[in-house]
Amino acid sequence: MNNLIDLHVHSTASDGSFTPTEIIQKASLLGMRAIAITDHDTVDGLEEGEIAAVQASIEFIRGCELSTRHGVYDVHIVGLWIPKDIDKYPEFVTSIQTFQANREKRNNSIIEKLQALGIEISIKEVENLAGGRVIGRPHFAQFLKNKGIVASEQEAFEEYLGRDKKAYVPRKAVTPHEAVQILAKTGATVVLAHPALIPCSLEELDELISELSPLGLNALEAYHSAHSFKDERVLVGLAAKHELLLSGGSDFHGKSKPGVALAKGKGSLRIPYFVLEKMKAKRA
């Protein structure tokens, strides 16, 4: 494992179940060489993660993942090497604040939908479950399971929280084009996250990449827990066509995404250090 990396990891700063420090400790036990924490729409966990990584002698990349909407599709954009002096980039700071405000509105709307379905629930109860973390749908799923309304968190998504289900509320989001430009202006390396999970045709994906590349897109996340070997081959080909770098990550969330292990994904994922070396060479 000592030559492996993970460039897509979530902590309790967003919807993961382990703190940044705990993630670094797990990475250290695995003998990992480098890791990026890329929480949804926030940079709140980066300072803690970086301190822990220095102590563990693990290379740390400051990251985040912005949630965007392209037509009817959710598209996620990862930024790597987010600068420490982020206050110098007001557009990025404002966008993060907007993302967080929209998330809060969405959570309140989910509460209202569940209440309209006859479920007794308050935002305070969900906040208690989140334990100070950013509230997301996994916390609502946990609540529904704890109350005996569903048998499992998966059933909560299938019945209530998944797309177009009883209590689903779509995210109000910026476009991927805006997110790419916002991240590029900070000097971050900009990555299209898990492209094979975007439920569009290959032609539509190719067109989207064509639109994002001149705006500052640098890489495709070809290596991901949910990607098949065929997906990887297709994305490697698209990256070569558009002269983009490759990236990879497990999309580790801990207990809130069971079956996905740090650096290993669902078991077969392996991201060698040379992927990161090529990114750093391009940045230099």
pLDDT for the residue numbered 60: 98
- Render pLDDT for 168-181 as a digit per residue (tens, 0 to 9): 998 777 899 999 99
| pLDDT over 70 at 69, yes or no | yes
**If pLDDT is split at 50, 70 and 90, which confidence band does 8 have?**
very high
Global confidence as pTM: 0.88
**How far, in Å, CA of 78 to CA of 191, rounded?**
5
- Render pLDDT for 142-158 as a digit per residue (tens, 0 to 9): 999 999 999 998 899 99
- Arithmetic mean of pLDDT over the chain: 93
Cβ atoms within 10 Å, residue 146: 12
Q: Which CATH architecture has domain 99-161?
A: Orthogonal Bundle (1.10)
- Render pLDDT for 89-118 as a digit per residue (tens, 0 to 9): 999 999 888 888 888 899 999 999 999 999
Query: What's the mean pLDDT in 57-62?
Result: 98
- Render pLDDT for 125-136 as a digit per residue (tens, 0 to 9): 998 988 777 788
Q: What superfamily in CATH does domain 5-95+180-283 come from?
A: Metal-dependent hydrolases (3.20.20.140)
Give me the sign of the Cα torsion angle 12, 225, 138, 102: positive
Cβ atoms within 10 Å, residue 22: 17
Higher pLDDT, 241 or 259: 241
Lowest mean pLDDT among 41-50, 194-203, 213-222, 253-262: 253-262
pLDDT for the residue numbered 102: 86
pLDDT for the residue numbered 280: 98
Domain with CATH 3.20.20.140 in the chain: 5-95+180-283
pLDDT for the residue numbered 217: 98
Domain with CATH 1.10.150 in the chain: 99-161
pLDDT for the residue numbered 268: 85
pLDDT for the residue numbered 258: 83
Higher pLDDT, 60 or 17: 60
